[in-house]
Structure 1
Amino acid sequence: MRNIIPVILLLAVATTSCNKMLDEKIVTNVTDDFYNTPAGFQTAVNGSYVSMRNFYSTERGMTLTETGTDIITNGSDGDFKYTSQYTSQLDSRYAHVREVWNSFYQTINTCNVVVDRADKITDLDEAVKKKGIAEAKFCRAHYHFVLMEMFGAIPLRMKENTEILREAHRDSVAAIYDAVIGDLEAAATDLPVTQSEWGRATKPAAEHLLSRVYLTRASSPQAKPGDYANAAKYADMVIKNYGFKLLADVGQVWAQGKENNEETIWAAQYTTDPLYGYPDNNACRFFLMQYDVLKGMKRDLPNGTPWKRFRPTSFLLDTLYKDRVHDVRYEKFYNVLWRTNAPVDNLKNGDTAVYLPGYDVSDAVIASKPYMLVPPRLYTEKLYPSLNKFADALRPDNQASGVRPFIAMRLAEAYLIEAEALMMDGKKQEAADLVNVVRWRSARIGATPAETQANHDAMTVTAANMNIDFILDERGRELVGEQLRWFDLTRTHKLLERVKLHNEQARNNIRPTHVLRPIPQDQIDRSVNEFPQNPGY
């Protein structure tokens, strides 16, 4: 922490098109005194969000949260397969943990600038001050919480660094929880229900994050009486108090250009402005199979740039998405059909070029088709159903990074958080009722009312279904790819069990060590005192 300076990458606000959103612009050539002015205060508030872009929709964030789990494993490409496979290369030199650690602590310091200096700015409007402090506390809590989930005991930074610090110490996990909850409770009190600029923290976003934090602490050694009840309470407040609604079509939740919908609670912002775009916004690339080398296909913007980083496990496809008759989520979330965009031989533009039916077919049937037919037994690290939640056809070109926001909190998760908390408190029927709301939304609409009702009934679960493995299965079906899975498995103490059962690439290597990430080596090296590493690294 010795190299952290007081304010790094402080940003200002702009608007784009007709939809006002939080847009971060780098401010340079300013002195420290600038942040003691109303303009500097607002710049620091905006800078409190900067590390959201370092984490959400980036390769580092996705790799640390999705791959190496029971539902996502590695594709053929990328430099960080060892994270997915838990091999010996996953150590303290790992670039992603260093980047997240350094970025988060730098931005935590920016948050501290807001909180510590606000009362010293004599001409700062009181309402602006109150809201700005609340936004900074929301961001500070978010960063501390994610760091704690990844690394366990971490340095708790609640005051601005005004000089170089040569010592750093790991504070207790209990203290981190208390600080995070304190920040979020204060933020929830002072934040508005809505903001004119989309992407700023709001009261329901703070309450949603509180529900996650309480749910996580409830199953930890630091658990306190009432944690599950508080998780359920805050999730219920988000569900009932602010007019959020589950979209009728689950496939529209992530529709590009419609991310600011009735189901979205909070999203990390990106922009189409090339001057202020962020080069690491690449979730649109990570889950795609290598379609562009196949007969009749070439790379284009609608189909995306296939980086082949992450692919679904057989467990996700064959077990969690086994029901494709009544449940539409597999067909809504995954691309399995590619149409010809490079005519060749008997394939014309728009003809089927590649189809992954999701069930086995004989070699004779495969040979009879003019297109490439790929049953599950022929899936490889380059050829597999591709998650489409982050598809981004509005990039300027195939080399450009993504421009769309990343939905980090949405209403379906609030239902599943409350369901899990109630289930763990013994209220299984109430939990089932909440899970059913999420499941019924994804029940297939039939050709007749009777068919629709039959699908609805088939999607209905009961109190007898309620256990932690079912909840994890349901979260996998609904929230796949949304940077929650590794946290879900570590939170519920299921990472080792479920990876060993369901991830062929990782099962032989994963160890108890891997429920935490390694402390970055440069943090250890730059501390003059002994800074302990996590066990096993």
Structure 2
Amino acid sequence: MKNLKIYYILIFCAMIMGCKKDYLDVVPDNVATIENSFTSRNEAEKYLYTCYSYLPQESDINSNPAFLAGDEFWTYWPITSGNPLPANPQQIARGNQNVSNPYLNFWDGAVGGKPLWRAIRDCNIFLENVAKVPDLDPSLKDRWIAEVQFLKAYYHFYLLRAYGPIPIVDKNLPISASIEEVKVKRQPVDKVVNFIVALLDSAAINLPATIQNRASELGRITKPAALAIKARTLVTAASPLFNGNSDFAQLQNSDGTPLFNAVKDVEKWKRAAIACKEAITASESAGILLYEFNELVNVSARTKLEMNIRNSVADQWSNELIWGFSNGAGSFIQGWAMPKLDPNKLANDSFKGELAPTMRMAELFYSDKGVPIAEDKTWDYLNRNNLRTATATDQDYLQNGYTTVGLHFNREARFYANLGFDGSVWYMQNGTWKVQAKSGQAQSRKGANGYSTTGYFAKKLVNWKFVILPDFGFTQQVYAWPMIRLADVYLMYAEALNEADGPSPEAYSYINKVRKRAGLATVEESWANYSTNPTKYLSKEGLRDIIQQETAIEFAFEGHNFWDLRRWKKASEVLNNQVYGWDIDQADAQNYYRRKPLFSQKFVAPRDYFWPISEGSLIVNRNLVQNTGW
């Protein structure tokens, strides 16, 4: 495959800078190598897999900013010698992003970022040459073209979400292109969105509804996946960051072309709602359903409910997945999330439990009445940090007789399914384990690394068949990472309906489908009966808040919150606060359960809503303009 990993020489770079640099859209002058890649079906299929190979691995905490570049998770700092925890995303979370050598640079493919412009180039090469393959069945050729169209669209979307307005690279320029032709410009957001959507519409025509060859093709793109990503693209484009955002009114190309439309357009939400419904119909017709766990017998209804929630993500191949990423996803992340549950195997240091949810996330989940804990008139919010001892009635959630805090009592099932913490219980195939994390206890800090800095653990990300071995290592059931699942499209649909026309029975119904799986009453019942703001769900603004919190809860720790806070323009509100955890080095409950500030985050708006383009890229191409604030 080395002959497919081609570096492209930018002619004018040598003239101006005396160096070589990969660039956006120049075809290399080694045509014989490319033509060889399309001499047979087998060779062309290799190139198809090359186009797939650039997909950012969303379960990788090293390269996915959505894990450690926000505030859902926190880790200790600085990263000590010999510890494999990634520093790059944490540098972003700590306000250290820069223009000289940006962290997680997906524009240039540097510092942990995938080279997505090179990915787009390779997609274009495939699309321009696949017709030459002599032994390729026409229907298979159409499917492969559709898959690569999807990938090309997705790479553009990934860049749009991170950088805002970007160049559109629909075709590669020949090596004979002039210097000026090579100096591409960023395109207005609306134009980029329409380009992505058109590609996805074209791809959906020839994609299969389901994967028939599940032994070898799971993870390949289907029609429901294309339509779901189209829905996500349009919901993103309709959201406040991109729709009527005057913060970027001055972001213009050198010729004066504005790159953001500063006028809000409600029609974008209507267009997004139509796309969401189309994706829902295609997904449900293909047999994609909200996940229910059916492997357990003789367990309480409460445990069954928790497993429904956990395994909608961590089952080997959940039937809720519209698109699952199966190339190594869901493997290493389990080791990062899993604490040393077995007190008899504490010497095994091959898994860490270092991916530590923050206290903001612990407070985000609803009460057991299905409303925010600060709104629940039956829940003691003011005393949530006071000590309280669990009783036998709490034993499905907490350890009987164990002292913890009020925050951990009477919470919704997703709280216990997502989080492990001092005093909790953790159901696994090989038993129900007790989490005890105060100093000196089994799950506490044992050294300079390998511990949760907040006192919380990401239970949701660990498959229930994970087994700790006696001395070193573990066995696990690797699961496909949920790139997008059905609950996602349900909540996007409810959001789009509300933003377009306000609250409606249709919007409520799709939120309630997700809430029912979580064991909660409907939005209408929960707010009317238990909230201090019982009519909140009746207004567009109130339902917006409800949908945003429901989304943040349902997709906690899956990499959504980082991008959602940005598209909602709430990052500057949420990420300008202290990050808190418990005082984990204390041995007694009174001192352990003190809120401990870990870091004071600073999010500079509007600058930090988008990645900077590196200074090197701006020097090479003077037609590129830098993002606002950088």
Instruction: Sort the TM-score into its range (normalised by shorter chain).
Output: 0.7 to 0.9
Q: Match for 2:318 among 245, 258, 261?
A: 261
Offset of 1:428 from its aligned partner?
1.0
Residues in 2 aligned to 1:330 and 1:353: alpha-carbon distance in whole angstroms? 16
Aligned to 2:237: 217
- Pick closer, same or farther for the CA change 1:136–1:409 going to 2, 3 Å: same
- Pick closer, same or farther for the CA change 1:299–1:160 going to 2, 3 Å: farther
TM-score (norm 1): 0.75
Residues in 1 aligned to 2:171 and 2:468: alpha-carbon distance in whole angstroms? 39
- Pick closer, same or farther for the CA change 1:431–1:500 going to 2, 3 Å: farther
Offset of 1:438 from its aligned partner?
0.5
Residues in 1 aligned to 2:629 and 2:24: alpha-carbon distance in whole angstroms? 33
- Pick closer, same or farther for the CA change 1:204–1:458 going to 2, 3 Å: farther
Aligned to 1:408: 483
- Pick closer, same or farther for the CA change 1:113–1:352 going to 2, 3 Å: closer
Offset of 1:144 from its aligned partner?
0.6
- Pick closer, same or farther for the CA change 1:427–1:502 going to 2, 3 Å: farther
Aligned to 1:517: 611
Offset of 1:171 from its aligned partner?
2.7
- Pick closer, same or farther for the CA change 1:299–1:479 going to 2, 3 Å: farther
Offset of 1:133 from its aligned partner?
0.8
Q: Match for 2:128 among 106, 116, 126?
A: 116
Q: Match for 1:198 among 218, 222, 225?
A: 218
Higher mean Cα deviation, 125-134 or 454-463? Answer: 454-463
Where has structure 1 moved over 6 Å in runs of 4 or more? 337-340, 349-353, 369-374, 394-397, 399-402, 453-461
Offset of 1:528 from its aligned partner?
4.9
Kindly report the root-mean-square deviation, in angstroms, between the aligned alpha carbons of the 2 structures.
Answer: 4.1
- Pick closer, same or farther for the CA change 1:410–1:229 going to 2, 3 Å: same
Q: Is the 8 A contact 2:273 2:496 kept in 1?
A: yes
Q: Match for 2:193 among 162, 167, 177?
A: 177
Q: Is the 8 A contact 1:337 1:352 kept in 2?
A: no
Q: Is the 8 A contact 2:266 2:499 kept in 1?
A: no
TM-score (norm 2): 0.65
Offset of 1:490 from its aligned partner?
1.3
Which residue identity does 2:219 align to in structure 1?
A: G
Residues in 2 aligned to 1:427 and 1:332: alpha-carbon distance in whole angstroms? 32
Q: Is the 8 A contact 2:552 2:560 kept in 1?
A: no
Offset of 1:127 from its aligned partner?
0.6
| 1:93 counterpart = 2:143 | no
SS in 1 for 2:356: strand
Offset of 1:170 from its aligned partner?
2.4
Offset of 1:305 from its aligned partner?
1.8
Residues in 2 aligned to 1:338 and 1:312: alpha-carbon distance in whole angstroms? 16
Residues in 2 aligned to 1:181 and 1:350: alpha-carbon distance in whole angstroms? 47
Residues in 1 aligned to 2:58 and 2:609: alpha-carbon distance in whole angstroms? 21
Q: Match for 2:290 among 229, 243, 246?
A: 246
Higher mean Cα deviation, 497-506 or 383-392? Answer: 497-506
| 1:424 counterpart = 2:499 | yes
Residues in 1 aligned to 2:528 and 2:347: alpha-carbon distance in whole angstroms? 39
Q: Is the 8 A contact 2:66 2:562 kept in 1?
A: yes
Which residue identity does 2:94 align to in structure 1?
A: Q
Q: Is the 8 A contact 1:69 1:84 kept in 2?
A: yes
Query: Highest CA radius of gyration, 1 or 2?
Result: 2
Task: Give % identity.
Answer: 21
For structure 1, the residue ranges without an aligned partner over 5 or more in a row are 8-29, 272-277, 341-348, 357-365, 375-379, 446-452
- Pick closer, same or farther for the CA change 1:305–1:414 going to 2, 3 Å: same
Offset of 1:208 from its aligned partner?
0.5
Offset of 1:174 from its aligned partner?
2.4
- Pick closer, same or farther for the CA change 1:112–1:143 going to 2, 3 Å: same
Residues in 1 aligned to 2:432 and 2:38: alpha-carbon distance in whole angstroms? 62
Aligned to 2:396: none
Residues in 2 aligned to 1:483 and 1:73: alpha-carbon distance in whole angstroms? 14
Query: CA offsets per residue over residues 467-486 of structure 1, 9 Å max, x none?
Result: 33322211111101222222
SS in 2 for 1:267: strand
Aligned to 1:36: 38
Residues in 1 aligned to 2:225 and 2:202: alpha-carbon distance in whole angstroms? 13
Q: Is the 8 A contact 2:61 2:67 kept in 1?
A: no
Residues in 2 aligned to 1:478 and 1:493: alpha-carbon distance in whole angstroms? 20
- Pick closer, same or farther for the CA change 1:503–1:428 going to 2, 3 Å: farther
Residues in 2 aligned to 1:225 and 1:136: alpha-carbon distance in whole angstroms? 32
Query: CA offsets per residue over residues 322-342 of structure 1, 9 Å max, x none?
Result: 5463621111122336999xx
* Count of matched residue positions in the alignment of Structure 1 and Structure 2: 468
- Pick closer, same or farther for the CA change 1:299–1:306 going to 2, 3 Å: farther
Offset of 1:162 from its aligned partner?
4.9
Q: Match for 2:562 among 480, 486, 491?
A: 486
SS in 2 for 1:266: strand
Residues in 2 aligned to 1:455 and 1:300: alpha-carbon distance in whole angstroms? 47
Q: Is the 8 A contact 2:280 2:490 kept in 1?
A: yes
Offset of 1:307 from its aligned partner?
6.5
Offset of 1:134 from its aligned partner?
0.6
Aligned to 1:144: 156
Aligned to 2:346: 298
- Pick closer, same or farther for the CA change 1:252–1:434 going to 2, 3 Å: same
Offset of 1:419 from its aligned partner?
0.7
Q: Within 5 Å, which residues of 2 pair with 1:68-87?
A: 68-69=69-70, 71-76=72-77, 77=79, 78-80=86-88, 81-87=90-96
Residues in 1 aligned to 2:565 and 2:42: alpha-carbon distance in whole angstroms? 43
Residues in 2 aligned to 1:521 and 1:399: alpha-carbon distance in whole angstroms? 44
Aligned to 1:391: 462
Residues in 2 aligned to 1:402 and 1:79: alpha-carbon distance in whole angstroms? 27
| 1:535 counterpart = 2:628 | yes
Q: Is the 8 A contact 1:101 1:520 kept in 2?
A: no
Q: Is the 8 A contact 1:72 1:313 kept in 2?
A: yes
SS in 1 for 2:140: helix
| 1:331 counterpart = 2:448 | no
Offset of 1:506 from its aligned partner?
4.7
Q: Match for 2:327 among 253, 263, 270?
A: 270
- Pick closer, same or farther for the CA change 1:281–1:125 going to 2, 3 Å: same
Residues in 2 aligned to 1:6 and 1:426: alpha-carbon distance in whole angstroms? 40
SS in 2 for 1:335: strand
Offset of 1:320 from its aligned partner?
2.6
Q: Match for 1:500 among 576, 591, 594?
A: 576
